[in-house]
Amino acid sequence: MSSAVSRFPAVGRRVLVTGAARGLGRAVALAFAANGDRVAVHYGTRRDEAERTAAELPGDGHVVVGGDVADPVAVERLVAEAADGLGGIDVLVNNAAVNTPHPPTTTSYDEWAAAWRRHTDVNLLGTANVTHQAVARMITQGGGGRIVNVGSRGAFRGEPDHPAYGATKAAVHAFGQSLALSVARYGIAVASVAPGFIATDRVADRLAGATGEAIRAQSPFGRVAEPDEVAAAVLWLASPQAEWSSGTILDLNGASYLRS
């Protein structure tokens, strides 16, 4: 690799976004499409929503791919379908995740074990397996690539009612840093974002009433993030200018949690 700034393209890229049927993933897909990129919109179970998202993306050449990222066989297939549909993969955004409550003091052992298994299979192993398949294609293609992992501030501040979520997101951050060291020689840069609360459909009930007021009060701005604010950061981390940020974990929490 040359010591010069990367020639990785700024537009016209082929982008796979996992968990893109709605919420943050949808906002990320929209941001890349508006940038002039072609997007593979991945879904786990919400095919109708994924197809609506793809239909609303500006530009053309977008595709929809489905599969449970917890299943290694399904991962191999969905990445292949994305690469075939787009003609390759230049950018991967690992957004697919689960986050169901399992407080340690009130959750039965069977439910506890199942929660940890599902969070690990989707949030960590799914991310690792999709990444493995995407990286193999980026290397074969040549020309570099970008990987952005969606982590969480919960990896640092703790998640008392969602401990498996916090733990697996911490593992995703560590995975991204290890990967950044491994794939830089191929011109592939890897970064993670660590958002706080985001105003998506999934958490709309938690943002209502007194609970919502308490959540918004965590930030001195008195609000939570909008999906497009986080999507903008993801888009930048996938840009040519962000190569030197490879290995970083970018906090996006409105000063609701500050770490040193």
Catalytically active residues, by annotation: 152, 165, 169
Q: Which residues contact 153 (CB under 8 A, 6 or more apart)?
A: 194, 195, 196, 251, 252, 253, 256, 257
For 97-142, the pLDDT digits (tens) are 999 999 999 999 999 999 999 999 999 999 999 999 999 999 999 9
Residue 21, beta-bridge partner list: none
CB 54 within 8 A of CB 41: yes
Through-space distance between the first and last CA atoms of the chain, rounded to whole angstroms: 33
Q: What are phi and psi of 26, to 5 degrees?
A: -65, -45
Domain-by-domain residue ranges, the chain?
Answer: 14-252
CB 94 within 8 A of CB 151: no
CATH class name, domain 14-252: alpha beta
For 186-212, the pLDDT digits (tens) are 999 999 999 999 999 888 888 998 999
pLDDT above 50 for 1 = no
**Residue 58, token pair as written in the block:** 């500006």
For 237-252, the pLDDT digits (tens) are 999 999 999 999 999 9
Q: How far apart are CA 228 and CA 142, in angstroms?
A: 30
pLDDT above 80 for 6 = no
Residue 5 confidence (pLDDT): 57
| C-alpha distances in Å from residue 24, one per residue of 231, 233, 248 | 7, 12, 20
As a whole number of angstroms, the longest Cα–Cα distance in the chain is 56
CB atoms within 10 A of CB 34: 14
pLDDT above 60 for 2 = no
Residue 3 confidence (pLDDT): 46
Q: How far apart are CA 238 and CA 147, in angstroms?
A: 7
How large a percentage of the chain has pLDDT more than 70? Answer: 98
How large a percentage of the chain has pLDDT more than 90? Answer: 93
